[in-house]
């Protein structure tokens, strides 16, 4: 099953460029604003949400907070035309995985998405190895207690 990405962008041209650049590799949904995106997030599971920081109504920071509260395993990438260090730090503290400034190339956005999935796969592998180690330790202790 393809990974699911939600693009939340009020600029139709950027939204369409992102969608067409990603839809060959991912299952892509789009949203034109934060309110619509929140409804989609409540009804569907997304692996990554890519959201504009400044939108009318519910903005990117509020949407980021909602995603991290209701779907903590979903990674969020913030896109914005404001490249201030304060915004980058604030959104990172709120739980954003990455921060991409406009104008950006699809290669930059794709690299950020790939890092999200690489982190996710490494975390899954680590959890599997920890579980295996715990099972082996338990079996070892059982064998050790039977020999005593």
Does the pLDDT at position 148 exceed 70?
Answer: no
Q: What is the dihedral of CA 16, 17, 21, 23, to 10 degrees?
A: 0
C-alpha Rg value of the chain to the nearest Å? 19
pLDDT tens digits for range 6-52: 999 999 999 999 999 999 999 999 999 999 999 999 999 999 999 99
CA distances from residue 45 to 11, 37, 142 in whole angstroms, order as listed? 24, 12, 40
Please name the CATH architecture into which domain 4-121 falls.
Answer: 3-Layer(aba) Sandwich (3.40)
CA distances from residue 95 to 34, 40, 92, 127 in whole angstroms, order as listed? 17, 19, 5, 21
How open is the CA angle 57-45-97, to the nearest 5 degrees? 70
Task: Report whether 9 contacts 15 (CB < 8 A).
Answer: yes
Residue ranges of the domains in the chain? 4-121
Does the pLDDT at position 55 exceed 90?
Answer: no
Position 112 scores a pLDDT of 95
pLDDT tens digits for range 62-96: 999 999 998 899 999 999 877 666 777 778 888 89
Q: Distance (Å, rounded) from C-alpha 91 to C-alpha 87?
A: 6
Task: Considering only residues 105 and 146, tell me which one the structure prediction assigns the higher pLDDT.
Answer: 105
Position 9 scores a pLDDT of 93
């Amino acid at each position: 099953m393809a990974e699911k990405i939600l693009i939340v962008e009020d600029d139709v041209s950027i939204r369409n460029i992102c969608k067409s650049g990603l839809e060959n590799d991912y299952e892509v949904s789009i949203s034109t604003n934060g309110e619509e995106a929140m409804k989609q997030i409540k009804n569907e599971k997304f692996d990554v949400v890519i959201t504009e920081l400044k939108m009318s109504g519910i903005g990117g920071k509020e949407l980021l907070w909602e995603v991290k509260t209701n779907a903590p395993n979903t990674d969020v990438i913030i896109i914005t035309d404001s490249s201030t260090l304060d915004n980058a730090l604030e959104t990172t503290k709120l739980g954003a995985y990455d921060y991409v400034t406009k104008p950006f190339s699809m290669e930059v956005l794709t690299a950020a998405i790939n890092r999200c999935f690489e982190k996710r796969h490494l975390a899954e592998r680590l959890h599997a190895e920890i579980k295996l180690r715990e099972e082996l330790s338990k079996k070892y202790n059982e064998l050790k207690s039977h020999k005593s």
